[in-house]
Amino acid sequence: MAEAIQKNKYVDPRPPVIGPGHDFGSITRKVGDIVTMRGFKKGWIFGFAIVFMGSVMMFNTIAYLVLKGVGIWGNNIPVGWAFDIINFVWWIGIGHAGTLISAILLLLRQSWRNSINRFAEAMTLFAVACAGMFPALHTGRPWMDYYLFPLPNTMGMWPNFRSPLMWDVFAVTTYMTVSALFWFMGLIPDFATMRDTAKKKWQKITFAALAMGWRGDARHWHRYETAYLLLAGLSTPLVLSVHTIVSFDFSTGIIPGWHATIFPPYFVAGAVYAGFAMVLTLAIPVRKYYHLEDFITMRHIRNCCKVMLATGLIVAYGYMMEAFMAWYSGNTYELFMMKNRMFGPYGFMYWLLILCNVVVPWTLWVKKLRDNLKWIFVVCMFINVGMWLERFVIIVMSLNRDFNPAAWRMYYPTIFDFTMFFGTVGFFLTLMFLFIRFVPMIPIFELKTLLPQGKVDEKKVEELEHGKGPVGQSPLPQFGD
């Protein structure tokens, strides 16, 4: 019987998602020590200093921006949106991978997600924070932004619910809230672990507070699992809706290059594409620096590459369809828009986009290159740039030459466009640095479920339930050791 089972049992030919030789204790130590270690690693301090300067640059730009007005950027008429909205969409896109990995892959029972999900969720959160800054600050009078919320007021004024910007407000704030909840909830068991393993008193107190009284009780686990699943279910449509709605910012407009039905799927795919590229951009160096090769294995990286290949295909299809529909529609404006994209004054941006988002990433079809970490990192950087260019192509190159030729005009960024953009990159990385150092970046408890000892032997459970097995032995992994 056992043999038969053995015969019929599907044996996963892929390498395991966790390195060999680990037990519960080693995982806790490996991940937890990064947080509870004394002092700081020199590399961390060096890196942090650089990215923190980026944050400072961002805050200074914001101060100047609020004092002087959005005119410090290069936006003009007709190009009312430029770096501001490009960056917004870029960051929001990056923010997609986290929730996708956490929620959708959870629902799809992709256990390999477990070692990278926390990391990706944090990335999401920080990226959305960066993204949210742009629509809030790109308005002419940011102190009046509260007009965008449906707040009761004496004038009885409501926001305009027909406007996609209005939908954006709801979509992004909801996404931000749910992502934050999801992230924090996933952290609770780990905070408990940290509380239990921390040596210093202040660490114990802090982690105790953050763990919210988690004791690893079966009932806790039961409720945790249910709530986590529910949140995952809630997040899943959000992953699709946020970028769909962000794409409505454009597709409900009448500007050629914006007014396209393909936008929602194309944007969502692009977002996942960008998100995974960013996950890898961050994971590859962190994995090496903290020696986490056992937890973030080549299998993870290969899987990410495959997701990128899939979504990259959708994105490339989107580019193709834009060109095709411009021709197929026979619409003068659409046709001109496409020609302007390809051969207009910004034409090189379009071809650079094709290079970054289609040509270079497709090298990952080659298996050998999917194993080459350095190349993958390079490809991810290309995608990061490419996705930014995509938004430039869509936003600036549609606006700068639309219907009325007399109103056509070039757009050129100013120094403040760059300080704001790179400032948010700095701010994002600052938050990432803090996260890596002060929060367990890999979910310890979920990693443990990947260990053989973490697997529930269903036969044993059956025996237990029927009172045949030894009593008192929990089928669940023990925490805190």
Fill in the per-residue mask, 246 to 275: x = in contact with other proteins (CB under 8 A), - = not in contact. ---x--xxxx--------------------
150 counts as binding other proteins under rule CB under 8 A: no
145 counts as binding other proteins under rule CB under 8 A: yes
Q: In the complex, what is the shortest distance from the CB of residue 166 to other proteins, in angstroms, rounded to a whole number?
A: 4
Span interacting with other proteins, options 144-152, 215-223, 359-367, 457-465, rule CB under 8 A: 144-152
Q: In the complex, what is the shortest distance from the CB of residue 162 to other proteins, in angstroms, rounded to a whole number?
A: 5
Q: Which residues contact 215 (CB under 8 A, 6 or more apart)?
A: 192
Angle at CA 360, nearest 5°, toward 359 and 361?
100
Fill in the per-residue mask, 91 to 130: x = in contact with other proteins (CB under 8 A), - = not in contact. ----------------------------------------
340 counts as binding other proteins under rule CB under 8 A: yes
Residues that bind other proteins (rule: CB under 8 A) add up to a total of 60
The only residue of 81, 90, 91, 276 in contact with other proteins, by rule CB under 8 A: 81
3-state percent helix, strand, coil for the chain, nearest multiple of 5: 75, 0, 25
Local structure of residue 477 (DSSP, 8 states): P
3-state secondary structure 67-99: HHCHHHCCCCCCCCCCHHHHHHHHHHHHCHHHH
The only residue of 70, 323, 355, 464 in contact with other proteins, by rule CB under 8 A: 70
The only residue of 409, 455, 459, 468 in contact with other proteins, by rule CB under 8 A: 409
Span interacting with other proteins, options 77-85, 110-118, 273-281, 299-307, rule CB under 8 A: 77-85
The only residue of 21, 39, 140, 152 in contact with other proteins, by rule CB under 8 A: 140
Tokens linked to 329: 């529609």
Q: Which residues contact 68 (CB under 8 A, 6 or more apart)?
A: none
3-state secondary structure 97-146: HHHHHHHHHHHCCCHHHHHCHHHHHHHHHHHHHHHHHHHHHCCCCHHHHH
Helices 347-354 + 373-399 axis angle, to 10: 150
**Cα 75 to Cα 229: distance, rounded to the nearest angstrom:** 44
Tokens linked to 360: 């270079």
Residue recorded with tokens 């210093």: 200
Looking at the Cβ atoms of 76 and 111, the one nearer to other proteins is 76
Q: In the complex, what is the shortest distance from the CB of residue 354 to other proteins, in angstroms, rounded to a whole number?
A: 18
The only residue of 377, 408, 418, 422 in contact with other proteins, by rule CB under 8 A: 408
Tokens linked to 186: 């996933």
**Cα 166 to Cα 249: distance, rounded to the nearest angstrom:** 9
Span interacting with other proteins, options 31-39, 74-82, 415-423, 457-465, rule CB under 8 A: 74-82
**Cα 312 to Cα 169: distance, rounded to the nearest angstrom:** 28
Looking at the Cβ atoms of 269 and 399, the one nearer to other proteins is 399
The only residue of 166, 234, 323, 434 in contact with other proteins, by rule CB under 8 A: 166
Residues of this chain, 384-403, that bind other proteins according to CB under 8 A: 399, 402-403
Please state the length of the chain: 481
Closest CA to 117 of 266, 246, 231: 231
30 counts as binding other proteins under rule CB under 8 A: no
Span interacting with other proteins, options 138-146, 213-221, 314-322, 440-448, rule CB under 8 A: 138-146
**Cα 126 to Cα 431: distance, rounded to the nearest angstrom:** 7
For residue 31, which amino acid is it? Answer: V
Span interacting with other proteins, options 142-150, 182-190, 448-456, 469-477, rule CB under 8 A: 142-150
The only residue of 164, 216, 265, 285 in contact with other proteins, by rule CB under 8 A: 164
Helices 83-94 + 117-137 axis angle, to 10: 160
Residues found near other proteins in the complex (CB under 8 A): 68-72, 74-81, 135, 138-142, 144-145, 147-148, 157-160, 162-166, 168-169, 249, 252-255, 332-333, 335-336, 339-340, 343-345, 399, 402-412
